[in-house]
Amino acid sequence: MTHHATIRFRLSGVALAPLALSAAILGCNGRSGGDSPALTEPTQSRQVVALGRLEPAGGIISISALPGERLKSFAEGVVEDATVAAGAELARVDSFDLRQTQLEAAETKLDMSKKQRERDRGAAAAQLQQALATRAQTEAKYQETIAQQEQLQNLSEVAAIAQEDYQLLERLQKTDPELVTDHQLRRRRNAADRAVNEYEAASAAYPHALEAARKSVEAAEANVTLARKNLELAENLDQTVIADIERRVAEKSLDQSVLRAPNVEGGSTEFKVLRILLQPGEFVAQIPILELGDVSRMVAIAEVYEADAKELVVGQSAVIRSPAFAGKFSNGNVGDAGGIRGKVTRVGSMVASPGLTNRNPLAPSDRSVVEVRVEIDPADAAATAEAARRVGLQVTVEFDEQPAGSASK
């Protein structure tokens, strides 16, 4: 690329002939052999002129998708020069339909997981209530079995009384056989035997019944513990968490198929569509799909020769000129009226090769430049609008002369 020159003018508003312009260029870009210091050191203030380009203050924003995707469609109203809101949908790629289906499947799975979890929690709660009821029943049975010990004492007392009654009748018959018949004695003996047998049977069964009741209580308590753990597991082991993660992944994946305008808190609220570089049906490669910019604030990025950068300071006034400007901003000669006014907001510290081409064939081609940012007053709506009509336009930036000794060191 052919490098351009930054022209230093000692006089303003004078049309220079080509030869005089050459001399001015050669005289301000370094010494030539045996020149004396008086020829290379400025003795008064001087004006710096550089090439620049117009762009939004926030830069040109490239919108693209993953390489290999194919552009499906643009959102309604997305055309060149259209204004779009921050966060608005710009376009979709072909993978949108597939990813939307995946999202719907993930949402269905999440809904089913929630219902399944509710069923599991309900079943676990019902099992706990049943286990509690069974435990209550077994505890009541255990207490009832313990209470049978008093019945055993009663049966023992009944058997002892029946035995005493039989023995009393037996002694009485021996003393007076006519007073107690054999039939009466047998009946009393039978009653005594039944009482004894009933006591012995109950006494023999009681320890087993008590042990069985105790074990039933322990088993019921274990069932209650298990039911509580199952309910706790149903509460804590939430399968919907995994399903929700899958849904969010599918949602993010779908979002990758939708191109949107930037939406940063405190940032721009709307953008202008500067260029559309791909059309629906084309595959995404290295170039962006479209470019946006917030043209409510415009700047000129001037490429100033490294040797001239020291002449510029933040706050210094400048005029941006171009033959493409219309009306009161139409181009004039250096120092004339017209052009768009701006101020230096930053003098770069990075030295690089120029990116703009100087059409002057006499301009040096071996110079390095520093980028200087010149901001157009956003309150000047007409100037901002004129610059916004020509984003990327190559312009000439004239920096106002600074008094001697005021340049940055």
pLDDT confidence of residue 7:
41
Residue recorded with tokens 């719907």: 104
Q: Considering Cα of 372, then 373, then 376, then 379, what sign does the dihedral take?
A: negative
Q: Are 291 and 61 in contact (CB under 8 A)?
A: yes
pLDDT confidence of residue 149:
80
For 318-339, letters b (16+ CB in 10 Å) and e give: bbbbbeebeeebeeeebbeeeb
Which amino acid does the sequence have at 356?
A: L
pLDDT confidence of residue 402:
72
Instruction: Dump the DSSP string for 161-182.
Output: HHHHHHHHHHHHHHH-TTTS-H
pLDDT confidence of residue 148:
80
Per-residue pLDDT of the chain (409 residues; tens, 9 = 90+): 333 434 443 333 333 333 333 333 333 333 333 333 333 444 455 689 999 999 999 999 999 998 999 999 999 999 999 999 999 999 999 999 999 999 999 999 999 999 998 999 999 999 999 999 999 999 998 888 888 888 888 888 888 888 888 888 888 888 877 777 888 888 888 988 888 898 888 888 888 888 898 899 999 999 999 999 998 988 888 888 899 999 999 999 999 999 999 999 888 999 999 999 999 999 999 899 999 999 999 999 999 999 999 999 999 999 999 999 988 898 655 555 789 999 999 999 999 998 887 766 555 666 799 999 999 999 999 999 999 999 999 999 999 987 555 555 4
pLDDT confidence of residue 404:
55
H helix intervals, 237-379: 240-255
pLDDT confidence of residue 280:
96
- Residue 396 sits at the vertex; the CA angle it makes with 392 and 398, to the nearest 5 degrees, is 135
In whole angstroms, give the CA distance from residue 190 to residue 32: 150
In whole angstroms, give the CA distance from residue 140 to residue 57: 85
In whole angstroms, give the CA distance from residue 122 to residue 125: 5
In whole angstroms, give the CA distance from residue 155 to residue 200: 9
Rg over alpha carbons for the chain, rounded to the nearest Å, is: 51
pLDDT confidence of residue 10:
33
Neighbours of 42 (CB within 10 A): 12
pTM value > 0.75: no
Q: Which of 251, 254, 151 is nearest to 206 (CA)?
A: 151
Q: What are phi and psi of 207, to 5 degrees?
A: -60, -40
pLDDT confidence of residue 34:
35
